[in-house]
Amino acid sequence: EAGVTQFPSHSVIEKGQTVTLRCDPISGHDNLYWYRRVMGKEIKFLLHFVKESKQDESGMPNNRFLAERTGGTYSTLKVQPAELEDSGVYFCASSQWGQGWAGANVLTFGAGSRLTVL
Amino acid sequence: GIQVEQSPPDLILQEGANSTLRCNFSDSVNNLQWFHQNPWGQLINLFYIPSGTKQNGRLSATTVATERYSLLYISSSQTTDSGVYFCAVVPGAGSYQLTFGKGTKLSVIP
């Protein structure tokens, strides 16, 4: 079974440019999450999709960040325009759907996409 | 929100030594996971353990939910165990947001 796949693995852009990160979850996983770790801070939740619907986007820092999951398969996270403080590692995770079922709670993470904004 | 504290923040071990990593959390949880971030940055799921004890090879974990802590044991450490170990929790029911601790950075030297 393929794991959670993210790309690019590393992106270097200049302040003001746009970057789009992609995540392919494990096949059949309805839950998809984005987390990020900026320099020196803890890994923080950004948002949660159930299929194509945004279940919780309370962690999105501002409106420069846009996440989509068309068709309930892969997801993209776009940062436009990028700022210096957006530098960090963006993680995607997925889990199976099942309200109250332990399997839904076991998140599998991808390798992350490292974003450097100069 | 829930607070997650991990200790120690840094740990250096000689290969073959044993270690215990601790995770304290400030409220009841319905999800607790231990992750290992390897040198390539990938977060590897070690245990899903909201309560009880589990073992997987040289690793084991125990969560005492009533006392709000979890322990990760590493026995006979190897250099490949190096990296950062994270504890992450979800408080209560109805939420899927993992709250991470700051991690324990483990360095195993030959």
Query: pLDDT digits over B24-76, tens only?
Result: 999 998 889 999 998 878 889 999 999 999 999 999 999 999 999 999 999 99
Instruction: Measure in Å the smallest separation between the Cα of A49 and chain B Cα atoms.
Output: 10
Query: Pick from A37, A117, A50: which is nearest to A79 by CA?
Result: A117
The number of C-beta contacts closer than 8 angstroms across A and B is 59
pLDDT one-digit tens code per residue, A57-93? 999 999 999 999 988 899 999 999 999 999 999 999 9
Share of chain B above pLDDT 70, in %: 98
Which chain A residues are Cβ-neighbours of B43 within 8 angstroms?
91, 93, 109, 112
In this prediction, residue B93 has a pLDDT band, given cuts at 50, 70 and 90, of: low
Judged against a pLDDT cut of 80, whether residue A118 lies above it is answered with: yes
From the list B42, B43, B102, which residue is nearest A42 (CB)? B102
**Residue A99 pLDDT:** 54
- A93-to-A25, A29, A75, B42, B105 alpha-carbon distances in Å: 7, 10, 11, 11, 22
Q: What is the pLDDT of residue A98?
A: 63
- Written as six digits, the tokens of A73 are 């398969």
A5 in reach of chain B (CB within 8 A): no
Asked whether the beta carbons of residue B45 and residue A59 sit closer than 8 angstroms, the reply is no
User: What is the nearest CA distance from B98 to chain A, expressed in angstroms?
Assistant: 7
* Contact present, A23 and A74 (Cβ < 8 Å): yes
All residues at 6 or more sequence positions from B68 whose CB lies less than 8 Å from its CB, including other chains: B24, B25, B26, B27, B28
Q: Are A109 and B35 within 8 A, CB to CB?
A: yes
DSSP string of chain B? ---EEEE-SEEEEETT--EEEEEEESS-EEEEEEEEE-TT--EEEEEE-SSEEEEETTEEEEEEGGGTEEEEEE-S--GGG-EEEEEEEEESSS----EE---EEEEEE-
Q: Enumerate long-range contacts of A95-99, CB under 8 Å, 24 or more apart.
A: A95/A29, A95/A31, A95/A33, A95/B96, A96/A28, A96/A29, A96/A30, A96/A31, A97/A29, A97/A30, A97/A31, A97/A50, A97/A51
User: How far is the alpha carbon of A10 from chain B, nearest alpha carbon, in Å?
Assistant: 11
Chain B CB contacts of A100 under 8 Å are 93
